[in-house]
Amino acid sequence: MVEKKLLSVLFGTLFLGTSILNGCSSKAVSSTNSSTGIIEVGISQLVEHPALDATRKGFLEGLSSKGFKDGEKIKVEYQNAQGDIPTTQTIANNFVSGKKDLILAIATPAAQAAYNSTKDIPILITAVTDPVKSGLVKSLDKPGTNVTGTSDALPMDKQFSLIKELIPNCKKVGILYNTSEANSEIQVSKAKDQASKTGLQLVTVGVTSSNDISQALTSLLPKIDVLYTPTDNLIASSMALISSKCIENKIPIIGSEKAHVDAGALATEGIDYYKLGFQTGIIAADVLSGKKPQDISVQTLKETKLVINEDTANKLNITIPNNLKSRAELVVGGGK
């Protein structure tokens, strides 16, 4: 009888211990490197260009501001796909097999690759235009998946208003975009709506690699009055070439973010990608502290900033209205 009681107590203890462990595994981050206690974070970035680099920097500083500093509480592994979408899948698979505790995916293709690889490891996304249409979350308010983070959804109405203010005689707006990026297709669709609302005609040309850009511009520029550059990663990486050819042909560019203007676009009314990344880092800290991604809303930045390139305006003989100049950040350089 005593032996039976002892066995009963033993099995009860084992059951309780197992229940506790199972309860722990339901947290957003369930494990760390067992030998060091360090949380392992993998960062997958589609390509290097100023906006995405600023986002990554902001993310790390956002995490650090909440006590998760690289080399102390966390260990960060950064991988860049160099613009090759299949490579984003390889990176994601490696992060999953390496049992990362959290993945940051920068740009839509990197985010989709990460989500294809795991439905368990928490994924933070940033610089993703439309997480719902990209199949990453069920809704922005309540993701319902292992994905959350931030979207760089554009204030496209402000950007098309800027076209009307700076180039009042504009009738045709061109868009050059990468047909391989889902986020770019989404932006082209939204641009068509904005063009219709503002009485402008949209002329679109798709490319698949940087090698196509020069020829595409040669075909496109004679047909348009203004070029609009979306937050397309291939286009962002080629802005030096694009702005140079546009200035040469006296075609102003309205960009979708500040880095485009720094590279020679005329102007933009866009978001700050460093701030977007910082906000993503704050959300990541919440996940690392135990919150579940599926319950954290995907956030956007409401604040925008007008940026104008004075050098480009002078080269194009465009006079900047005082009401715009007084509230703008003025930059110089870029283009030729």
| DSSP category for residue 212 | G
pLDDT at 336: 61
Token pair 């959290």 is found at: 102
Q: Is the pLDDT of residue 7 over 50?
A: no
CA distance 191 to 196: 8
Q: Cα–Cα distance between 311 and 258 in angstroms, integer?
A: 15
Judged by DSSP in three states, 297 sits in coil
Residue 155: the pLDDT is 84
321: pLDDT confidence band, cut at 50, 70 and 90?
very high
Domains located in the chain, CATH noted: 39-152+273-295 (3.40.50.2300), 156-270+304-331 (3.40.50.2300)
* pLDDT of residue 26 exceeding 80: no
Q: Which of 297, 260, 239, 334 is nearest to 54 (CA)?
A: 260
Which DSSP symbol is given to 40?
A: E
Q: Give per-residue pLDDT as tens, 214-254.
A: 999 999 999 999 999 999 999 999 999 999 999 999 999 99
Question: In the structure, what pLDDT confidence band is assigned to residue 20 with cuts at 50, 70 and 90?
Answer: very low
Residue range 280-296: average pLDDT?
97
What percentage of residues in the chain have a pLDDT greater than 70?
89
**Residue recorded with tokens 């439309």:** 130
pLDDT band for position 65 (cuts 50, 70, 90): very high
Q: At 36, is the pLDDT very low, low, confident or very high (cuts 50, 70, 90)? A: low
Taking CA atoms, 210 is separated from 7, 206, 216, 219, 250, in Å, by 70, 11, 10, 15, 22
pLDDT of residue 302: 87
Average pLDDT over the chain, rounded to whole? 90
Say if residue 13's pLDDT is above 50: no
CA-closest candidate to residue 296, choices 146, 110, 132: 146
Instruction: Please give the pLDDT value at position 234.
Output: 93
Q: What is the pLDDT of residues 165-204, one digit of tens each?
A: 999 999 999 999 999 988 899 999 999 999 999 999 999 9
Which structure tokens are listed for 176? 């050059």
How high is the pLDDT of residue 250?
97
The kind and range of the H/E element at 158 are helix 156-166
Q: β-strands 267-270, 305-309: how paired? A: antiparallel
